[in-house]
Amino acid sequence: MRLILLACVLSLTASSCMSAYKQSIGGDGVKVFNRVYLTDFNIAWQSVLDALKSSRLDVSNREGGFIQTKWTENTAEKNFTEAFGGADAYLKSQYRFRVTVAKGFFNGRPSIKVAVQKEQLIQRDVLEGWKPIESDSIEENTLMYRIGRLILIRMKLAELERAKTKRAIENSKF
């Protein structure tokens, strides 16, 4: 019995110490979702802005390839999703997105790397203050999907426009 009790105490202590250690060195913090797109910077940048159209922007630095949204209140959504999990309700909840768009090369071709990060803060009561929590990654994956679809649409439209221009030039020669 003492052995089982000792094992339980050690496992609880180790897990809480390990999570405190990970947070102090920056491990397992906020997840960053990355994708590489074979497109140019202008198409990727405009696609990211269009994907974030419903969010208010705090920082938009095209030269640095960085976008940050303002904090968005999502207490009702968090309380709704957590109600089925058996967790306590939140007093307040808010999040923001950080998106970076960087030029690069992939297999010798120009490419763009888009990275999405979501910061989620919660407050359980008035005395607790804001605490970061890990995201469920649904919104990040949804945003990455939207960006990818918008890039694809813009690339198809550019291809159609080039073909139309080429046909117009060929028809004007005769």
What is the average pLDDT across 92-100?
A: 93
The per-residue pLDDT of the chain, averaged, comes to 82
Q: What does the alpha-carbon distance between residue 67 and residue 58 come to, in Å, rounded to a whole number? A: 8
DSSP secondary-structure letter at 74? -
> pLDDT for 137-147, tens place per residue?
899 999 999 99
All structural domains of the chain with their residue ranges: 27-162
Picking from 143, 135, 100, the residue whose alpha carbon sits closest to that of residue 28 is 135
**pLDDT over threshold 70, residue 95:** yes
What is the average pLDDT across 136-159?
A: 95
Picking from 117, 75, 81, 77, the residue whose alpha carbon sits closest to that of residue 100 is 117
> Which strand (E) or helix (H) includes residue 99?
strand 92-106
> pLDDT for 20-78, tens place per residue?
444 444 445 668 999 999 999 999 999 999 999 999 999 999 999 999 999 999 877 77
What class has domain 27-162?
alpha beta
Output the pLDDT for position 82: 59
Structure tokens at 1: 């019995």
134 touches 23 (CB < 8 A): no
Picking from 40, 164, 35, the residue whose alpha carbon sits closest to that of residue 103 is 40
Output the pLDDT for position 24: 44
CA atoms within 13 A on the CB side of 20: 6
Checking DSSP bridges between strand 66-69 and strand 57-61, what pairing results, if any? antiparallel
Output the pLDDT for position 62: 96
**pLDDT over threshold 80, residue 19:** no
Is residue 86 very low, low, confident or very high in pLDDT (cuts 50, 70, 90)?
A: low
* 3-state SS assignment for residue 155: helix
